[in-house]
Amino acid sequence: MRSTFLCILATLLFAGLAMADWDLVYECDKLPENATPAWAAKNNNEPNGTQGSIIADPDNPGNNIYYINDLAGAKTGRVVPLEADLSVGLTIVARVKCTSGGHVQSFNIGWYDEGYTCAECVIWPNHFQLGRGSDTPITEEFDIDGSEWHVYRITAEGNDVTVYVDEDTKPKIDSKTLEDAGKGNKNPGVAIGSQSTSGTQEIYFDYVLADLSGAYAPGEGTRIPANLIGGKSVEPAGKLAATWGIIKAEN
């Protein structure tokens, strides 16, 4: 009986940990360029130098945040190369807030391929914007208090993009077709930052996750780990180190 129980427990442990795997986990404890994998400067173009820094989360002791104070005439963008195939699907989950500024041609979350902007999301203090680069800067948008923390889930399959907020299963933007968004099928990379030279913005990132195995709605595919704010069964706020919290959440 004991051995059977241990076998079942081991199976549950393995299943829980396996479900917690993401292809990209950036917890904002280090600058993106110092993380693993390392993020590169998007376009290698940062007038006046980088503006990003890692700061302590004033609301959650032990938690860190990637903060960008984007000034006019400057920009900060980071991209991490991934072997994503948009015909299979891509899921990006990020906890973000923007307390001031914004620009229609900025690029706070999205994917990017060899100099081509495939899809971009801009978070403003009072709304969220989905677009496809400077040619069509605004495709669809919705009102939201972007100055407060929200978990944004952006899924893509081919040219179709869907956006969820705070893991609500009802999408805010439902399967919006972006012209040429699927052009990034050639291993697009996930991009974050505040990437408008003419705009200004204060934006905060708590974590960024990516799953290359499909376009998953909340509750499908890989779940947000319990050690991240907004993850399953998070009791204390912050990025807790307890693996058992992940196991309990997944089982």
Q: What is the pLDDT of residues 33-84, one digit of tens each?
A: 999 999 988 765 565 556 889 999 999 999 999 999 988 777 888 889 887 8
DSSP 71: P
* Residue for token pair 């208090």: 145
Q: What is the residue-wise DSSP string for 122-136?
A: EE-SSEEEEEETTTE
Rg of the chain taking only CA atoms, in angstroms: 18
Per domain, the residue ranges of the chain are 21-222
The residue among 228 and 14 whose pLDDT is bigger is: 228
Largest CA distance in the chain: 68
Element (H, E) at 147: none
Question: Does the structure show a pLDDT above 50 at 251?
Answer: no
Query: By C-alpha distance, which of 237, 236, 216 is closest to 19?
Result: 216
Q: Is the torsion defined by CA of 175, 178, 182, 184 positive or negative?
A: negative
Lowest mean pLDDT among 47-51, 87-91, 237-241: 237-241
User: Taking the model in full, what pTM does it have?
Assistant: 0.82
Q: What angle do CA 42, 44, 49 make, to 5 degrees?
A: 100
Q: Is the torsion defined by CA of 139, 89, 117, 190 positive or negative?
A: positive
Q: What is the spatial distance between Cα 39 and Cα 78, in angstroms, rounded to a whole number?
A: 6
Using a pLDDT cut of 90, give the percent of the chain over it. 43
Q: What band does 204 get if pLDDT is binned at 50, 70 and 90?
A: very high
Which CATH topology does 21-222 take? Jelly Rolls (2.60.120)
Give per-residue pLDDT as tens, 130-186: 987 655 556 789 999 999 999 999 999 988 899 999 999 999 999 888 766 655 556
Q: Is 121 left (phi over 0), alpha (psi -120 to 50) or beta?
A: beta
List the alpha helices (DSSP H) in the chain: 2-19, 243-250
DSSP 20: T
Order across the sheet with 189-194: list the strands. Answer: 40-41, 76-80, 189-194, 109-113, 116-123, 127-132, 136-143
**pLDDT number for residue 247:** 29
Q: Residues 20, 222: contact at Cβ < 8 Å?
A: yes
The residue among 155 and 9 whose pLDDT is bigger is: 155
